[in-house]
């Protein structure tokens, strides 16, 4: 399979599940103005990226799971590196990394939700 059209590559680049070429989001991840806004349709193949109203509310569960995984990893790393630091170090570190990684977690929770439950199958014959 062409690496350009791989599933993992399309998910990492936040591209359409149907053609794996068009962008799911209208702006880049460093733009905070419309950070979580999703294109209604794929700019490349035209498939509908919002299958139903309020479809992406379910992505909150994935975002929550990503936040919990981040919390656990930060706790383990801090405990391993600093050998049981003060409680304030844990709290500040978890809050800091959640704020820094918030755009990534918000976007990829929607991407994973669309790929998992969007019922859009890949079509290699798309444009």
Q: Which SS3 state, helix, strand or coil, does residue 56 take?
A: helix
Query: What is the pTM (predicted TM-score) of this model?
Result: 0.84
- pLDDT tens for the chain, 127 residues long, are 444 678 899 999 999 999 999 999 998 888 777 888 899 999 988 899 998 888 999 999 999 999 999 999 999 999 998 888 899 999 999 999 999 999 899 999 999 999 999 888 888 876 6
- Tell me which H or E stretch contains 66: helix 59-82
Dist. CA 69–CA 71, nearest whole Å: 5
**pLDDT of 97:** 94
> How far apart are the C-alpha atoms of 40 and 57, rounded to whole Å?
15
CA distance 127 to 120: 16
How many CB atoms are located within 10 Å of the residue 67 CB? 17
Backbone φ and ψ of 41, nearest 5°: -130, 155
Q: What pLDDT sits at residue 1? A: 45
């Amino acid at each position: 399979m062409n690496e350009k059209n791989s599933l993992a590559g399309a998910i990492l680049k936040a591209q359409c599940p149907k053609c794996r070429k068009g962008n799911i989001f209208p702006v880049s991840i460093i733009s905070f103005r419309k950070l979580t806004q999703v294109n209604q349709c794929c700019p490349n193949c035209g498939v509908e990226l919002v299958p139903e109203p309020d479809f992406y509310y379910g992505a909150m569960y994935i975002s929550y799971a990503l936040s919990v995984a981040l919390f656990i990893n930060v706790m383990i790393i801090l405990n391993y590196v600093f050998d049981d630091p003060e409680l304030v170090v844990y709290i500040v570190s978890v809050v800091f990394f959640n704020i820094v990684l918030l755009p990534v977690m918000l976007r990829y929770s929607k991407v994973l939700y669309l790929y998992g439950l969007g019922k859009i199958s890949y079509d290699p014959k798309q444009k």
